[in-house]
Structure 1
């Protein structure tokens, strides 16, 4: 069995992008807008026919761009985002500088993290401190759980199947709990941890050891800095403590309610080991080391006195395809499309392999409640049938891809009817280079890893690099969580 071959029972499928039905490649909303615009132009033309000379070409051009695709999205949306980003750049809205100003929120985190604040709480279950990120705008609480790095590649098939079933149960628990708004699992890989290990080994060598043993140890010390990395996985859960019959009266009760909700999620049996709840110091370390990777292995004492704003960058520039900050330059990719075929459960392994640059892989989830999930799939089945029927009426038969899409939608609906859950999710990959000159090499490293997954398609987060960078940090922001 090769590295890419796994038993058929460990293949996963069911990934599907939402697609609405519209005319000529347009979405349903765009089709309705086009119909209204053309109707309005027709009514105006009855009184002033010459207006069509101006309005009709513009309308056709706009909706042609809306129907065309670029990087997996509407070409109109792509170019509109490009124009909006250039306009923001002109007004310096894409640049952040931390200034010492005498007004309340001068020292907040930049961008999407501006409304967050860090609370140091006491967890009565474990008796240890825990860090809770509070969103002052929405009232949501975010709690992070540190996980122990591990894997299941050497585990028996039955154990992996059991882990997948248990994780499905965790998602099921999220779908029935209205207080859980979203969750994400992040793995951060920081290269260079082998250097400290090598120094420790050299200091502990026995001068009287056999020569062969010394040669083996010296060879390990020589290769370790290039072959190892520090792996830091964590799971972040966003909770609305006020979404209950008896809302908490004050901030302390809101924190207690958020801890109770997160404690109700049982991750035992999912194939991961829980290390502990992240403390306020842990959260400062994770956020600060993302902006400046050089401080990742610093002592806890260096983070204890940092304010929440000091964990962010002193300066940052949000570019079209890159995000420059204190300790380097980062690029974030977002999921464009998953394979339409079954894929092995270990498909993300190439992305998780250590490289030359710090990398952060984030899976963000939003589990739909059973009623919403069923309604979504029913709409998807209707849209898939309508697309196939419209093509058949024009060309005499539906495309094979459309028939397969109908079959996938119906299969998903059958799985939901049997108790499965509908999950909105996305994948984000961030790499950080210490120097702008190394950025092309960092890009190439991630692009090769994406190709090695054999089917996953990703694209840069055009015009929203700063927000996508923050989505992989435990600061309470998720692109899937709705206010």
Structure 2
């Protein structure tokens, strides 16, 4: 049997002069014309020198990049972070003695979010998260991956193909902003198993059977690591006028589409169930406050008697340049810097996703930003034209890379014409632990796992709090909240 390989991903890049982007090339040409016109008008070498120096100060940071960001991006990011720290915006305090007593709302970009619960026509209850700043509505689905043990390769290939069809189907109408797949390793408290054993014991069961079940529950001990998987589907506001502003109408529209989402995921080997409101509250609460996990799991569905969406956030947090402090925990988030080079197998991320005792709380979020069918056709044609232009202007190793990009973009055009979707994707890796954790050791472990998966990653400097929230998989799509203009980006 032929082993399937996956790849041909390309980072969109407009082609300009000397390997620069089109925008940078046009800006450089404009600066050159400005210098020449200035010299012609003044006839002064001093004035021309000043114009050349000023142009260089503006142009060089635009074309010199580091870690995937231009010099201007790094300068603006550092300036924004410094200004926010001076204003006190990076420190958050909530709780009984805060300015709004008794609340602990989610901080930062999630501050204006709302949580509500509705029911589909089929009787399934689901939680819906509304982020009002972008008018996005998100439904979170619990997924139980089937694994690949004792499964034929043909079945695995069918599941991967089914997941690709699921993404392509969600992109066709243009209503889905993004799909976020999260696979998380959390500390196993065994409380859920014990509660399940207690539920299974009937009051009229024989005493011997009850004793056996009690001993079985007592023997479930120790602390390990378990895997939790979920998929969040984020929608734009659907409809027009009043419907767009009515949460109940949005829930009705999303509920009608939800059964189709579940069916597509089931065909991809991912049986899914929508999370209810109490489950979403418990999920967010335990990620911000690590010490609350046992209490939340013990409470189960009764957590809503003491907690709400307004109290699910941390009591205190501090957004540092290279890490994030929240209640009694510290988290570090990395982002994908480069996709794996060449083709990979379906198990390419296996080393990164595998649970490890030395990294007990690890979250990997893959964010798929979907293009509609109309957008996809324009983008694949534009990428192909840019690749052809780059191949004609570059030489040496750059020319070989450009030729490879021409082949990849041409293949994308053909696949899109046959019905495939076009998707931008990125990866966020978040590791959380207590304040006294061995952070240098954790960083080395994450770097090793990423290298084994052939994934280039970098730490999210200056945006740890927002990337932590985005990796939760509750509908926060970071590119929709960008604070730096695309004109100065790479």
Normalised TM-score (structure 1)? 0.85
| Match in the other structure for 2:468 | 469
C-alpha RMSD over aligned residues: 3.0
Aligned to 1:270: 268
Alignment of 1:226-245 (within 5 A): 228-243=224-239
Q: Distance in 1 between matches of 2:245 and 2:315?
A: 36
Return the offset for 1:253.
Answer: 1.9
Correspondence for 2:443: 443
Instruction: Work out the number of aligned pairs and report it.
Output: 450
Match of 1:131 among 118, 127, 150: 127
The verdict on how the C-alpha distance between 1:429 and 1:8 changes in structure 2, with shifts beyond 3 A counting, is farther
Q: Decide whether the 8 Å contact of 1:149 with 1:232 is kept in 2.
A: no
Shift of 1:473: 1.9
Q: Is the alpha carbon distance of 1:51 and 1:91 closer, same or farther for their aligned partners in structure 2, counting shifts above 3 Å?
A: farther
Counterpart position of 1:409 = 409
Residues 288 and 421 from structure 1, CA distance in 2 versus in 1: closer, same or farther, beyond 3 angstroms?
same
2:252 corresponds in structure 1 to 256
Question: Following the alignment from structure 1 to structure 2, what is the Cα–Cα distance between the partners of residues 278 and 149?
Answer: 16
Moved more, 341-350 or 28-37: 28-37
Distance in 2, matches of 1:89 and 1:153, equals 50
State whether residues 328 and 435 of structure 1, in contact with CA within 8 Å, keep that contact through their aligned partners in structure 2.
Answer: yes
Q: How does 1:308-347 map to 2 (within 5 A)?
A: 308-347=309-348
Structure 1 gap segments, 5+ residues each: 1-6, 202-216
Q: Classify 1:107/1:302 alpha carbon distance in 2 versus 1 (closer, same or farther; 3 Å).
A: closer
Q: CA deviation at 1:88?
A: 2.1
* Contact map agreement 2:180 2:473 (CA 8 A) in 1: no
Listed one character per residue, the Cα deviations across residues 200-248 of structure 1 (whole Å, up to 9, x for unaligned) are: 99xxxxxxxxxxxxxxx9xx989x64xx412221111112343369946
* d(CA) in 2 for partners of 1:63, 1:24: 14
Gaps of 5+ in 2: 198-215, 483-490
- Residues of 1 paired with 2:241 and 2:149: CA distance? 44
Alpha-carbon distance in structure 2 between the residues aligned to 1:106 and 1:311:
9
The question of whether the paired residues in 2 share the 8 Å contact of 1:321 and 1:465 is answered with yes
SS across alignment from 2:266: coil
Would you say the 8 A contact 1:366–1:480 is kept in 2? Answer: no
Is 1:354 the equivalent of 2:355?
yes
Q: Residue 182 of structure 1 contacts residue 480 of structure 1 at CA under 8 Å; is this kept in 2?
A: no
* 2:429 alignment counterpart: 429
Cα deviation for residue 85 of structure 1 reads: 1.6
For 2:363 and 2:388, locate their aligned partners in 1 and report how far apart those are by CA, in whole Å.
39
Indicate if the aligned counterparts of 2:390 and 2:402 stay in contact, CA closer than 8 A.
yes
Counterparts of 1:149 and 1:170, CA distance in 2: 15
What does 1:114-263 correspond to in 2, within 5 Å?
Answer: 114-126=111-123, 128-193=124-189, 225=223, 228-243=224-239, 247=243, 250-263=246-259
Give the match's secondary structure for 1:344.
coil
Cα separation, partners in 2 of 1:423 and 1:195, compared to 1, 3 Å: same
Partner of 2:280: 283
TM-superposition CA deviations, 1:308-331 (whole Å, max 9, x none): 132111111212221111131111
SS in 2 for 1:112: helix
**Against the structure 1 CA distance between its residues 87 and 398, is the aligned structure 2 distance closer, same or farther, given a 3 Å change threshold?**
closer
Q: Which residue of 1 aligns with 2:308?
A: 307
